[in-house]
Amino acid sequence: MMLHRLSRSILFLLCIGMLSLTGCSKPVKEFHETVFTMGTLVEVTIVGEDEALTEQAYSAILDDFNYMHNTWHPWQRNALMRVNGLLKTGATFSIAPSIMPLIKQSQILSEQSQGLFNPAIGQLIKLWGFHQDNLEEIFGPPEDDEIKSLLKTLPKMNDIKFKNLSMFGTNEDLHLDFGGFAKGMAVDATIEHLKEFGIQNAIINAGGDLRAIGKHGERPWRIGIRDPRNEGVFASVEISGDESVFTSGDYERFFTSDGTRYHHIIDPRTGYPATQTRSVTIIHGEAATADAAATALFIAGPEQWHEIAQAMGIKYVMLIASNGDVHMNPAMAKRIEFTNKPSSIKLSQPL
């Protein structure tokens, strides 16, 4: 399973690489490195900069990634594990500075998404088995009774309270899992760090989810969006300035049992994987918001995505429904270039 994920990621990164190369008219000085961190392949591209500065900046963001991987991993002995252990007890404890930005930002995004994006449901993720690297060890979905019993008092992000420099939890099932968010936070943090080095043109691409700044030579960056059902590129968009493109899909992590596919994006209302969507792509300034919104809108599905996108302040959405219909807002439709025009495109009201 891991290998399968890895090979798909590599293939897709190559596709994006090719797209960006076709986007330039004359050769530009280009730095490319790929590193496996935070459970995914991260490709860093920096263009048009002095070699020494580029190397220095790259090495600094490698340290950032290592730090974030070690502190934010949901099921390892680290700062997040300490917080998770204490939140369950209800005891008041000193704030963990390394985890605070994740908690504070995701509390706001969770609220805006009407709880569809909910990183407090780690227990439910664990019950499904999606906390493990190797999904081949999962033999089927959990018992319905167990899911229902967790749903009765399912934790919310606002079950975490703050008092001066302390914090405490008000739900004994609280378990933070930032699997749908940490990647976005890490991409934001490392792009900001590159900017501090004076770098103006770069992409940080974490397994197909990315933030791009500046341009690729004289042209905008061209970004490929993965086809949720076949290998290859479904569509592409041009990015210039500073924007993130994040996709959540049912093909990323899943297991199959009795012919049914169970994927890793769980609807907190039902306790089961969301059923109406194949993938959602968001374009937004910050990667963290784009990451949370992709997860939330995936769960919201074809009927509800527009409402949740408005509440989250998202301006560009493409949602591929489980029946293959492609839903977009008009502004997104203007930017998207399809590899093969889909048979059914549903344009929404403007966002």
Site residues, ligand ADP (CB under 6 A): 117-119, 125, 130, 177, 179-180, 209, 248, 252-253, 264-266, 268, 291, 294-295, 299
Q: Residue 124 in 3-state DSSP?
A: helix
Contact window for Mg ion (CB under 5 A) among 94-102, 225-233, 246-254, 280-288: 246-254
Q: Is 294 in the site for Mg ion (CB under 5 A)?
A: yes
**Residue 180 interacting with Mg ion (CB under 5 A):** yes
Q: Residues 6 or more apart from 316 whose CB is under 8 A from it?
A: 282, 283, 284, 329, 331, 332, 335, 351
State which residue, 296 or 328, has the beta carbon closest to Mg ion: 296
Helix or strand (DSSP H, E) at 263:
strand 260-263
**C-alpha–C-alpha distance, residues 280 and 277, integer Å:** 8
Q: What is the dihedral of CA 189, 195, 199, 201, to 10 degrees?
A: 70
- Shortest distance in whole angstroms from residue 189 CB to ligand ADP: 16
Least Å from the CB of residue 99 to Mg ion = 18
Looking at beta carbons only, is 54 or 106 nearer to ligand ADP?
A: 106
Q: Which does 271 bind (CB under 5 to 8 A by kind): Mg ion, ligand ADP, none?
A: none
Give the H or E element holding residue 160: strand 160-163
Size of the site for Mg ion (CB under 5 A): 5
Per CB under 5 A, the list member of 207, 291, 316, 319 interacting with Mg ion is 291
Nearer to ligand ADP, 223 or 294 (CB): 294
The DSSP string of 277-339 is EEEEEEEESSHHHHHHHHHHHHHHHHHHHHHHHHHHT--EEEEEETTS-EEE-HHHHHH-EES
57 vs 299 by CB, closer to ligand ADP: 299
Q: Which does 186 bind (CB under 5 to 8 A by kind): Mg ion, ligand ADP, none?
A: none
The β-bridge partners of 223 are 237
Q: With respect to Mg ion, which residue has the nearer C-beta, 16 or 299?
A: 299
Least distance (Å) between residue 332 CB and ligand ADP: 19
Give CA–CA dist 175/312, Å, rounded: 24
- 295 scored as a contact of Mg ion (CB under 5 A): yes
Question: Considering just the CA atoms, what is the radius of gyration of the chain in Å?
Answer: 20
Q: Tell me whether residue 272 or residue 338 sits nearer to ligand ADP (CB atom).
A: 272
> Which residues sit at the interface with Mg ion, rule CB under 5 A?
180, 248, 291, 294-295
